[in-house]
Amino acid sequence: MTDKIFKFLGTALICMVAVSCQDKAWDDHISDNGISDKTLMQVLEEHPELSTFAAIVRENGIDELLSSSQTFTIFAPSDNAMENFTLASDTLTQFLNNHICRYTYTLGDVLDADEQMLRIKMLNEKYQYLENAGGQLKFGGLGSVLSTQGVSNGVLNIIDNIIPFYRNIYEEINSNQATDSIGKYLRSMDQYTFDAAASTVIGVNDKGETIYGDSVMIYANPYMRTFGDIYKEDSLYTMLVPTNTAWDKQYEKLKKYFRAFGNGSTSTSGIKVNGSFETEGRFADSLTDAHTRQALVQDLVFRKNIDVNNPEGDSIISTSGHVFHAPQYLFAGAEKREVSNGQMYVTDELLFPATESWHNEIIVEAENSANYTSQYCSSTSSRSVEDFPQFAGKVSKDHFLYVRPSSLSFQKNTVRFTLPNTLAGMYDIYIVTLPASAVDTSLVSDPEQMKSTRLNFYLTYVHEDGTLKEESAITTPSDFKGGQTATAIDEAQPAFITDAQNINKMLIAKNFRFPYANYTASPFRSSTEEQINTSYLRVECTVTSSADLKIYEKNMRIDCIILEPVNE
């Protein structure tokens, strides 16, 4: 969604549209003396205890508006409340229009509202709460209504406190140099598009070009469209905002995960993918920078006002969809800033755990034909376990890939899976396989038909020198310990052998680190951009001899590939 922002060129034309969705009955909460036939401005000037407020109204030129037939509710601070008042840089917006709203609101309306509280829109587009406090109206959380009077064009309330003006979250971020790093990043995505159809045409110049008396600009911001409209007054958010110190520290922490390669090309030969990429340069640096900053800001916004010390359900969900359990630690030491559209917490350190935020689990559904390529297979098909109750809730998406070999027994039937959005971080890599009974339940009673199979695995990725190539076969579960040289975890199991009877989550590699990020999941990436994948896992059946076939089968039943992120 976008919002229209009107910029007037020349004389501003103010259209006052007296349209109200309210049909309010004047009730006995309005005044003991009935409704006056005077205007709000007249009554203001008759109240000696409102002399300061009335003078500021006249000085700012809205006395005519309050004398018109339009309807308003005023919450006017008494002279006692105004004793220490200091004129703001924009008194009209930050003070007067912060105490005046359109239409009429009374205690009766509040008593009829849910939880006896209304959120009303003021003339400056900000929202204030009007609530019942023991039978007395309270405005903006601070101002107790001392008296109320109904007049011909609205309601005048006298209150005992000035209600502070608060910026919205976006305005507050950009008003402080301490949060300028995130402010610059968000402002860089501000977009304004001229809307000719909604703009007013006043003529044509001597070149035949249309001249507009006012220009309507459509505002949009991809970050806010994706993660939350923190500039809107009618929305409520809780946002964790990093200071420049926190921004710089988190940037350095995340940058290594999004280390990108530059320009290059790929080619496919049979089942293998090869290529070469630049390992440094402007393109690689810009990709690293863009993805790092996106990851840094993706979990800062939460919907509604959240009790950060006692959240409902003891967890909170960011607008990116990530869940943070017992999240009090995220806000530890943060400074709460008052804002008009929710809550803002400014922090010198972002404490998101990598594996709950940017370093996510990757699950590749094997049965999805877009995820794999096969070789030496007579058929590959997606199979369902919905009619097999013994597998209920145990198979991802209730489907798996069924791979049948070619008729030539010496050929190693193989499937290459795409591994999307891998980061330059550590993963434990698993494959989940199913027994033959997932295809035919009757096989459970025939052990001769319930055989294991034997597998090898090959990882393809962009290596440190920029070469895209397939690594040597992983023939036993291996611990890479941050390097790229496999060492056996368990010498007693020198091969990958599937479980003949059960679903089996088999460890392929532990602590495997990709040198470069293969990241294409940017929320701001154009859908028309080409997305080159550079990470693959090839699964190869190594059953080839007649002796092997007496012990093993060549069919493969693969549920999914799982890359579990490792916290470092």
- Over residues 245-289, the pLDDT tens digits come to 999 999 999 999 999 998 888 999 889 999 999 998 888 999 999
Number of independent structural domains in the chain: 3
Q: Are residues 546 and 473 in the same domain?
A: yes
Lowest mean pLDDT, pick from 23-32, 309-318, 443-452, 548-557: 23-32
d(CA 545, CA 315): 55
CB 292 within 8 A of CB 251: yes
Q: Are residues 372 and 328 in the same domain?
A: no
How far CA 282 is from CA of 37, 79, 295, in Å, comes to 72, 62, 20
Domain boundary among 325, 356, 387: 356
CB 247 within 8 A of CB 182: yes
In a domain, 492, yes or no: yes
In a domain, 526, yes or no: no
d(CA 103, CA 113): 16
Radius of gyration of the chain (CA): 33
Selection from 426, 416, 376, 455 nearest residue 534 by Cα: 416
Tokens 């469209």, located at residue: 225
In a domain, 167, yes or no: no
d(CA 163, CA 126): 12
The band of 205, judged by pLDDT with boundaries at 50, 70 and 90, is: confident
Range(s) of the domain holding residue 88 = 3-159
Mean pLDDT confidence for 445-452: 78
pLDDT at res. 196 = 78
Whichever domain contains 370, its CATH number is 2.60.120.260
CB 302 within 8 A of CB 316: yes
Q: pLDDT tens-digit profile of 374-394?
A: 999 999 999 999 888 889 899
Domain boundary among 104, 136, 159: 159
d(CA 71, CA 39): 10
pLDDT above 80 (res 3) = no
Pairing of strands 399-405, 210-220: unpaired
Q: Beta partners for 454? A: 497
d(CA 431, CA 564): 11
Q: What is the mean pLDDT of the chain?
A: 88
Q: Are residues 73 and 180 in the same domain?
A: no
Selection from 345, 355, 356 nearest residue 426 by Cα: 355
pLDDT above 70 (res 165) = yes
Q: Are residues 70 and 132 in the same domain?
A: yes
Q: Are residues 391 and 540 in the same domain?
A: yes
Mean pLDDT confidence for 219-223: 88
The band of 27, judged by pLDDT with boundaries at 50, 70 and 90, is: very low
In a domain, 482, yes or no: yes
d(CA 457, CA 467): 19
Q: Can you list the alpha helix ranges (DSSP code H) found in 119-162?
A: none
d(CA 395, CA 365): 10
Task: For residue 424, give the DSSP letter.
Answer: S
Q: Are residues 339 and 376 in the same domain?
A: no
In a domain, 74, yes or no: yes
Q: pLDDT tens-digit profile of 333-350?
A: 999 999 999 999 999 999
pLDDT at res. 200 = 78
DSSP collapsed to 3 states, 85-101: CCCCCCHHHHCHHHCEE
Mean pLDDT confidence for 433-437: 93
Backbone phi, psi, residue 69, to 5°: -85, -5
Contacts (Cβ under 8 Å, ≥6 apart) of 368: 382
In a domain, 16, yes or no: yes
Secondary structure tally for the chain: helices H, strands E: 10, 32
Tokens 């101002």, located at residue: 143
Task: For residue 519, give the DSSP letter.
Answer: -
CB 143 within 8 A of CB 161: yes
pLDDT at res. 7 = 33
> What is the model's pTM?
0.82
Taking each helix axis from N to C terminus, what angle separates 244-255 and 282-297, rounded to the nearest 10 degrees? 120
d(CA 261, CA 276): 10
CB 195 within 8 A of CB 217: yes
How far CA 305 is from CA of 133, 141, 238, 263, 461, in Å, comes to 21, 15, 6, 45, 44
Which parts of 176-331 are beta strand (E)?
A: 191-194, 200-204, 210-220, 237-242, 264-269, 272-277, 301-303, 315-317, 323-325
pLDDT at res. 1 = 38
d(CA 340, CA 342): 6
Q: Are residues 415 and 513 in the same domain?
A: yes
Share in percent of the chain as helix, strand, coil (round to 5): 25, 35, 45
Which amino acid does the sequence have at 481? Answer: K
In a domain, 220, yes or no: yes
And the tokens for 503? Answer: 């679903």
Q: Are residues 285 and 225 in the same domain?
A: yes
How far CA 547 is from CA of 60, 75, 404, 405, 409, in Å, comes to 97, 92, 19, 17, 11
Task: For residue 122, give the DSSP letter.
Answer: B
Q: Are residues 203 and 69 in the same domain?
A: no
d(CA 465, CA 519): 18
Look at the alpha carbons of 70, 73, 2, 172 in this order and tell me if their dihedral is positive or negative. Answer: positive
In a domain, 511, yes or no: yes
Number of C-beta neighbours around residue 361 at 10 A: 11
Q: Are residues 349 and 371 in the same domain?
A: no
Domain boundary among 105, 138, 159: 159
Whichever domain contains 81, its CATH number is 2.30.180.10
Percentage of residues of the chain with pLDDT beyond 70: 91
CB 316 within 8 A of CB 305: no
Selection from 290, 292, 353, 361 nearest residue 318 by Cα: 353
Q: Are residues 335 and 366 in the same domain?
A: no
Q: Are residues 482 and 352 in the same domain?
A: no
CB burial string 472-506: b at 16+ within 10 A, e below: eebbbbbbbeeeeebeeeeeeeeebebebeebbeb
